[in-house]
Structure 1
Amino acid sequence: MRELKKLPELLLFDLDGTLAKTKEQIAYAAQATLKRFNYPIPSVDDVGRYIGNGINMMLVRSIFGKVDVSPDMLPADQMAKIREVFNEEYLNGLNANFALYDGVYEGINKFKALGMKMAVVTNKAEMFAKPLIGYMGFNDYFDYVLGGEVIKERKPDPFPLLYVCQKLGVDPHNAVMVGDSDNDVLAGQRADMVTVAFTYGYNSGKDVRNCHPDYVFDRFGVFTDFIMSLKNNTESLD
């Protein structure tokens, strides 16, 4: 287990299921999309189970009704048409049907006041992530936002995390990956950084504890308290 003994220099956050409840928002767009192509309509809860590996994977899972799928199960031209419609539906609904998890707004403000760098590393496309972060009220809080289509690697590959660390001039050993899924924890572990997982998010129905994150929290506020407790340690070490 990697242990945090002082304030990290950088907090890397996942977005969906970590900072914001977006299951309904994503599900409504997916339902509207599949309806236009005459596919069976999944429930909101089913779509929630399919979130976590990018939009195309979520759509294919929704179409086939199971988690264990591959995007190439659909012809590339058909996938492109479905994704184009989803993009339209989702962009039109980004300002509604989401909510910050309890304690997120207060926590992000406290971390900002401490002077820590913060970034979002998400498999969600940047064209959705950046506007959503704005609707969340966090336009001026994050030092970097990396969406899933900007580089070819995606979580659980560690490179997106290392890429953001490089952009912000932070040693990965001084960064913490904070998320709600196996993808987040595995990416952080492979980047050799401390990992924090929340139990309340989207992890395809699996228990995120099974991938052995360094710290597990049931509420964002408890995580905030933990980070704030490191402030005294940092001051005593300086």
Structure 2
Amino acid sequence: MTNFSHLIFDLDGTLVNSKLGLHNALNYVLDAMSLDLDSEAVIDQLIGPPIQDGLKHILKFDEKQSQLAMRLFREYYSERGMYEAELYPGILELLQELDGQGRKLYVATSKKDEFMKRVLHHFELDRYLIDAEGAGSGEKHTKAELITRVMDRNQIFSSPEVVMVGDTKFDIVGGKANEISTIAVGYGFGNNEELKGLNPDYFVEEAEDLYELLI
């Protein structure tokens, strides 16, 4: 068992399996724009970083295409996609136990504030969190910057007793940039070999393993 005093969690791919809703939103975009692309082949790469970055760098959209795609994506996701998700096994119990032990829990996510708040409330995760930091109204932020904001606002100082938990390289790089511990989870949307190559302090394969590590 570890004894972290402050735990900062990523949201998509760490606490919530949001793949179905995001995949459906992407298909909605591709259908509306009459694009013949294999959404299954790219969806995992689009989860984690800001969606506008993925549209530009992974799907190679130009600025005009990106703006249209973002509007369509958010149109579907705000009405249906965010609810087409599920908690990973044991996550709710994990947060309940950590909260009961007096640990301080936070979220740092690249999801827009509006969507982040609605997802946290829908899955009743917000009751266990002291604070959560999202990407505002969709501005571009690095995960390191989001983590820094959570830490600064809550007067959390860099320490091995503070940990970032996430499923992509952005979470691990962001945690290290803030000089805190890192836990990479292999059940989300990141590349496991890439994650291990970043030398996180801990790596867990399944959500149930995260419970064993933290509790």
Of residues 52-61 and 195-204 in structure 1, the stretch that sits farther from structure 2 once superposed is 52-61
1:143 aligned residue (130, 143, 163)? 130
- 1:9 partnered with 2:5: yes
Deviations 1:88-141 (A, max 9, x none): 110011453211111111101101111111111011111211111112221311
Deviations 1:171-198 (A, max 9, x none): 1213100001111001111111000011
Q: What percentage of residue pairs aligned between the two structures are identical?
A: 23
2:188 aligned residue (184, 198, 201)? 201
Question: CA–CA distance in 2 between the matches of 1:61 and 1:108?
Answer: 35
Of residues 145-154 and 182-191 in structure 1, the stretch that sits farther from structure 2 once superposed is 145-154
Deviations 1:25-46 (A, max 9, x none): 1010111022111112433353
Q: Contact 1:94–1:132 (CA<8 Å) still a contact in 2?
A: no
Deviations 1:192-227 (A, max 9, x none): 100001111111575411111000111233222322
Q: Contact 1:49–1:202 (CA<8 Å) still a contact in 2?
A: yes
What residue in structure 1 maps to residue 141 of structure 2?
Answer: 153
Question: CA–CA distance in 2 between the matches of 1:98 and 1:152?
Answer: 24
Question: CA–CA distance in 2 between the matches of 1:97 and 1:112?
Answer: 26
Q: 3-state SS of the aligned residue for 2:211?
A: helix
Question: CA–CA distance in 1 between the matches of 2:84 and 2:112?
Answer: 18
Of residues 206-215 and 37-46 in structure 1, the stretch that sits farther from structure 2 once superposed is 37-46
What residue in structure 1 maps to residue 95 of structure 2?
Answer: 108
- TM-score under structure 1 normalisation? 0.81
What residue in structure 2 maps to residue 46 of structure 1?
Answer: 42
Of residues 5-14 and 30-39 in structure 1, the stretch that sits farther from structure 2 once superposed is 5-14
RMSD of aligned C-alpha atoms? Answer: 2.2
Q: What displacement does 1:147 show?
A: 0.9
What residue in structure 2 maps to residue 216 of structure 1?
Answer: 203
- 1:92 partnered with 2:79: yes
Residues 206, 51 of structure 1: alpha-carbon distance in 2 compared, 3 angstrom cutoff: farther
Question: CA–CA distance in 2 between the matches of 1:45 and 1:129?
Answer: 25
- TM-score under structure 2 normalisation? 0.89
Q: 3-state SS of the aligned residue for 2:126?
A: coil
What residue in structure 2 maps to residue 170 of structure 1?
Answer: 156
Q: Unaligned stretches of 5+ in structure 1?
A: 65-72, 229-238
Residues 204, 147 of structure 1: alpha-carbon distance in 2 compared, 3 angstrom cutoff: same
Q: 3-state SS of the aligned residue for 1:140?
A: helix
Question: CA–CA distance in 1 between the matches of 2:197 and 2:136?
Answer: 28
2:24 aligned residue (6, 28, 32)? 28
Q: Contact 1:47–1:62 (CA<8 Å) still a contact in 2?
A: no
